[in-house]
Structure 1
Amino acid sequence: MAAASGSFDVETATRAYLDTLEGPAREQSDAYFEGGYWLIPLGTLVSVLIDWIFLRFRIAHAFRRLGERLSKRLWIVTWVTAALYTVVGFVMALPWSIYTGFFREKQYGLLDQSFGAWFAESLTGFAISLVMMPLVIVAIYALIRRAPKNWWLWATGVLGIFLMVAMVLGPVFISPLFNDYDEMEQGPLRDKIVDIAGKYDIPADHIYVFDQSKQHKRISANVSGLGPTIRISLNDNLLERTSEPEILAVMGHEMGHYKLRHIWVNFGVIMLLLALGLFITSRAAPWLISRYGGRWGVRDLADPASLPVLAICIAVFFFFATPVTNTLIRVNESQADAFGLEAAREPDGFAKVAMRLSEYRKIEPGALEEALFFDHPSGATRVRMAMQWKQDNVENPQVVVPEQGYLDAE
């Protein structure tokens, strides 16, 4: 990395980084990310279409009938219906999942797995869903039967409990099904990370590295878990592809999520959205069933065969809520960026990381485009924030002109 002196100007310093992504690399990054805009409505359409097939051809009705032949207990009938719905739904969605999760990622060079390895992980995720989803659905239908007027409120609480349990158990039991997690090796780099954490009273007894390079080359780190299982993890790509200032910048960002209690902030907002979505569903689903339930073989809302109706309502609600969820995450990420810059004090390391993320994230979107489709600040926004921090906090700051090709050099 080479440096050029002169009076420091935030826009000039920002431009010096942004201009290192150009030509085919920039075109591919923009094409990949912009193509993702269409995946949002198309994914919702696929989900709704599958649920419509369950209803139109009375498949959900047949699942419930099978459950009634197996048992007179309502919870068993619901469990059978939900389990079969989960299995058949997975199979029906498989072509879409294979295209979006495998072929499209391979097309843009963002996946290093073979199809067999990718599909094995998909089956693992499906197995987890097959355990959890029927339990959640059984609980929701029990509430619909016992509290037909305000079941949506009780269901929000039950889903919150399931979500909290998943957050606690995820790092210990679920994530290791996909990657190996090991303690970060002792050494100067870990010592610097621990020192940064110590300044903010952030527990750093356990810092984990996971082998995500077997899946792709994207750099990432995260804060996961809840209570006794909360931890900071970074993938091996971050260690192998980036410099020490970049690693410290990323770890400062992740510590920001912990210190700013974003896990709880996100949990609270998700609960509010779930409550609203379930409330709307509690009004829309009975109306749909009253009009079309006869041809679908659905008796009423308490009938487990109504499961695709609920799924359609929820899918449509969260489609329209996408800008809200994106904004929630983006605001939290921006706050963590600001914290990380102050904690690590590595503005150029932060800028380089922001540029590396352009492998799969459009670097310079329009303002409305970023507000609607970005769940993280864009690279341009992040680099500009870093350069503004540099101007405000570094004595005699210099404009850094990165060497061409530095994104692939490390």
Structure 2
Amino acid sequence: MAKKIGLYGVLAFCLYVLFFYWYLFYFSQSSLPFEYQGTKADPATFLNERELMLTEEYSKIRNFLFFISTPIEWLFYLLILLFGLSKTFKRWSEQSAKYRILQQAIYLIWLSVAAFIATTPLSYVSYSLSKKYNISTQSFSSWMKDELIDFWINYGTLFLIVSVLYWLMRKSGKKWWFYGWLISIPFTLFMMFLQPVVIDPLYNDFYPLKNKELETKILDIANSAGIPAEHVFEVNMAEKTNALNAYVTGIGSNSRIVLWDTTLNRLTEDQILFIMAHEMAHYVEKHLYIGIAGYLVFSLLGLYIISRLMRAIVSRWGEALKISAVNDIASLPLFLLLLSMLMYVSSPFSNTVSRYQEMRADRYAIEMTQNSEAAIGTFQELTKAGLSQVNPPLLVKIFRYGHPTMLERITRIEEYELEQRNQQ
């Protein structure tokens, strides 16, 4: 049975990879519909021929890597179970420590190291690709440092979650998913509170915006939007990337406005103010809190589905997967496999909600700044800096895009311009 499950798993993965290779490189089209050609949304009007060619090449390869990365994770967890490695990690941990909490910590080290070894080659390919196309400016040592920081943050977070979840599985039986969800609420809020001041500085240096005149203008917009921000922070991203970004992060007293230095170096002041107005719109329209509420609802539903699936799978295929019970720590790869699958399946819905919120933020920003030229110029520069497709294939948009496509964003700005002219 184990061989059959493994064979079907590998075959499904191969068919999945072949489908997306065919779809991205041979079937899908990213050319603009005729009615948009020659408009400000047409990349041929603001990119040269080389940039157009590089955008298509880079986008196709990057999208392909995205679509195969998550299934590789699924295949990894499946093989870890089928080959009995999860059970072996459990046995080693029990031989190494007396107390259960230490055994779980040791088990997670083995599993995390195995996952790191399995996924790092694809991460390196992605890093090398961004270097080749001049998106990334990061040195290998700096990239590896970030990978190791990711490893230890993920390990520490996973250790806390696993310790609580498997304790609940042993103590609460079939209701573990509900009690785990209740505990996740304060934990999620606490992590969001810590993110800007504890986690983010591990990767980059943050400091108050050097351009005080620009900071004053940004804070004026923030005050008019009712955002309690006292400082705008600048982060040194130029040593890692040529991409552009800005965001509002954190909750409560730790909320802050952040600008990448690449954005400051490349965009005009009016374009930066448009981006800031866009980011502040998320605060004004309570998108962060709507997102938290949505996450909690989906996590409740997700944990319930996982609990039902784990019981059914262990009952039917537990012997083949080398899992004796749901509350056995050796079942963790199955939990992570199901969690990853649910997140992947639900991503089209969450991306749709996100795109709607981003569209609302664009509208808010253009109404606040009243500068459509700066707005369109911003989107054109973002396209150029990230080598992004203006009109990506449908499946790429559905599964990857939490923002509207550049075609949609620029077109809406042009429609807004037309509305304003008609009202005059």
TM range (shorter): 0.7 to 0.9
Which consecutive residues of structure 2, in runs of 5 or more, have no partner in the other structure?
A: 1-34
Which residue matches 2:151? Answer: 126
TM-align CA RMSD: 2.4
Q: Any conservation in 2 of the 1:18–1:380 contact (CA below 8 Å)?
A: no
TM-score, structure 1 length as denominator? 0.87
Distance 1:386 1:307, change over 3 A: same
1:380 to 387, 392, 407: 407
* Pairs within 5 Å for 1:177-256: 177-185=202-210, 187-256=212-281
Q: Any conservation in 2 of the 1:160–1:271 contact (CA below 8 Å)?
A: yes
Which residue matches 2:4? Answer: none
Which residue matches 1:81? Answer: 107
1:30 to 56, 59, 70: 56
Partners of 2:350 and 2:57 in 1: CA distance: 23
Deviation readout 1:94-119 (Å, 9 max, x if unpaired) = 1122112x112123221101212111
Secondary structure of the 2:228 match is: coil
Partners of 1:304 and 1:360 in 2: CA distance: 44
Shift of 1:18: 6.2
Partners of 2:43 and 2:56 in 1: CA distance: 17
Shift of 1:367: 6.3
Partners of 2:36 and 2:123 in 1: CA distance: 42
Shift of 1:181: 0.8
Q: Any conservation in 1 of the 2:314–2:323 contact (CA below 8 Å)?
A: yes
Which residue matches 2:178? Answer: 153
Partners of 1:186 and 1:43 in 2: CA distance: 40
| 1:159 counterpart letter in structure 2 | S
Shift of 1:373: 3.6
| 2:397 counterpart letter in structure 1 | E
Shift of 1:17: 7.1
Q: Any conservation in 1 of the 2:271–2:378 contact (CA below 8 Å)?
A: yes
| 1:68 counterpart letter in structure 2 | E
Which residue matches 1:392? Answer: 419
Q: Any conservation in 1 of the 2:44–2:52 contact (CA below 8 Å)?
A: no
Partners of 1:94 and 1:348 in 2: CA distance: 42
Which residue matches 1:55? Answer: 81
Deviation readout 1:271-320 (Å, 9 max, x if unpaired) = 22222222221111222222332243321000000001111111111221
Which residue matches 1:117? Answer: 142
**1:166 has 2:166 as partner:** no
Whose relative contact order is higher, 1 or 2, with alpha carbons under 8 Å and at least 6 apart?
A: 1
Partners of 2:79 and 2:42 in 1: CA distance: 53
| 1:59 counterpart letter in structure 2 | L
Secondary structure of the 2:315 match is: helix
| 1:301 counterpart letter in structure 2 | V
Partners of 2:42 and 2:93 in 1: CA distance: 64
Q: Any conservation in 2 of the 1:67–1:77 contact (CA below 8 Å)?
A: yes
* Pairs within 5 Å for 1:304-343: 304-343=329-368
Which residue matches 1:90? Answer: 116
TM-score, structure 2 length as denominator? 0.85
Distance 1:316 1:186, change over 3 A: closer
Q: Any conservation in 2 of the 1:370–1:378 contact (CA below 8 Å)?
A: yes
Which residue matches 2:314? Answer: 289
Deviation readout 1:294-348 (Å, 9 max, x if unpaired) = 2433210000000011111111112211211211221221111111112222211
Deviation readout 1:130-189 (Å, 9 max, x if unpaired) = 222111111111121222222222222333333222211111011111111111135332
Shift of 1:246: 0.5
Q: Any conservation in 1 of the 2:271–2:375 contact (CA below 8 Å)?
A: yes
Q: Any conservation in 2 of the 1:111–1:217 contact (CA below 8 Å)?
A: yes
Distance 1:13 1:49, change over 3 A: closer
Partners of 1:98 and 1:369 in 2: CA distance: 22
Count of aligned pairs between the two proteins? 388
Q: Any conservation in 2 of the 1:79–1:137 contact (CA below 8 Å)?
A: no
Distance 1:73 1:365, change over 3 A: same
Shift of 1:90: 1.3
* Pairs within 5 Å for 1:101-112: 102-112=127-137
Distance 1:16 1:92, change over 3 A: closer
Which residue matches 1:404? Answer: none
Q: Any conservation in 2 of the 1:207–1:231 contact (CA below 8 Å)?
A: yes
Identity %: 26
Distance 1:253 1:47, change over 3 A: same
Q: Structure 1 residues 150-159 or 308-317, which shifts more?
A: 150-159
2:284 to 259, 266, 270: 259
Shift of 1:371: 4.1
Deviation readout 1:5-29 (Å, 9 max, x if unpaired) = xxxx999763577622353312322
Distance 1:395 1:193, change over 3 A: farther
Shift of 1:72: 5.0
2:40 to 4, 9, 14: 14
Partners of 2:393 and 2:121 in 1: CA distance: 33
Partners of 2:162 and 2:277 in 1: CA distance: 39
Which residue matches 2:16? Answer: none
